[in-house]
Amino acid sequence: MNKLLLYNCSQIVTPKGSHIKKGKEMDEIEVLQNASIYMEQGTIVFLGPNEEVLQRLGADSLAQIPGDIPVIDGAGRAALPGFVDSHTHFIFGGYREVEFMERLSGVSYLDIMRKGGGIQSTVNATRSYGEDQLAADGRNRLNDMLSQGVTTVEGKSGYGLDLECEQKQLRAMKRLNETHPIEIVSTYLGAHAVPLEYKDDPAGYVRYMADVVMPRIKEENLAEFCDVFCEEEAFDIEQSRSLLTKAKHMGFELKIHADEIYNLEGGALAAELGAASADHLLMISEQSIQALAESETVATVLPCTAFCLNKPFAPAKKMIESGCGIALATDFNPGSCFTNSIPLMLSLAVLKMGMTLPQAITALTINGACALKRGDKIGTLEAGKQGDVVLLDYPDYRFLIYHTAKNIVHTVIKNGQLVYKKEES
Ligand code: NIG
Ligand code: FE
CA of 34 to the centre of ligand 2 (A): 39
Q: Mean pLDDT of all residues in the chain?
A: 97
**Residues 337, 330: contact at Cβ < 8 Å?**
yes
Helices (H) and strands (E) in the chain, counts: 17, 16
* pTM for this model (two decimals): 0.98
1 has pLDDT over 90: no
CA of 193 to the centre of ligand 1 (A): 10
CA distance 211 to 248: 14
Other C-beta atoms within 10 Å of 116: how many? 11
Other C-beta atoms within 10 Å of 217: how many? 24
Ligand that lies nearest to the alpha carbon of residue 159, given by its number in the listed order: 1
Split at pLDDT 50, 70, 90, the class of 410 is very high
DSSP 378-393: SSS--TTSB--EEEES
**Strand duo 30-40 + 3-14: pairing:** antiparallel
CA distance 162 to 174: 18
Say what the pLDDT of residue 65 is: 94
Say what the pLDDT of residue 424 is: 80
Using a 6 Å CB cutoff, which residues line ligand 1?
A: 89, 118-119, 122, 229, 257, 260, 305, 331, 333-337
- Of all atoms in ligand 1, which is nearest to the CA of residue 109? 9
CA of 13 to the centre of ligand 2 (A): 29
Ligand that lies nearest to the alpha carbon of residue 337, given by its number in the listed order: 1
425 has pLDDT over 80: no
pLDDT in tens, 33-45: 999 999 999 999 9
Residues in the chain: 425
CA of 332 to the centre of ligand 1 (A): 9
Q: Pick from 423, 417, 402: which is nearest to 183 by CA?
A: 417
- Of all atoms in ligand 1, which is nearest to the CA of residue 331? 1
Domains annotated for the chain, with CATH where assigned, are 3-81+378-421 (2.30.40.10), 83-371 (3.20.20.140)
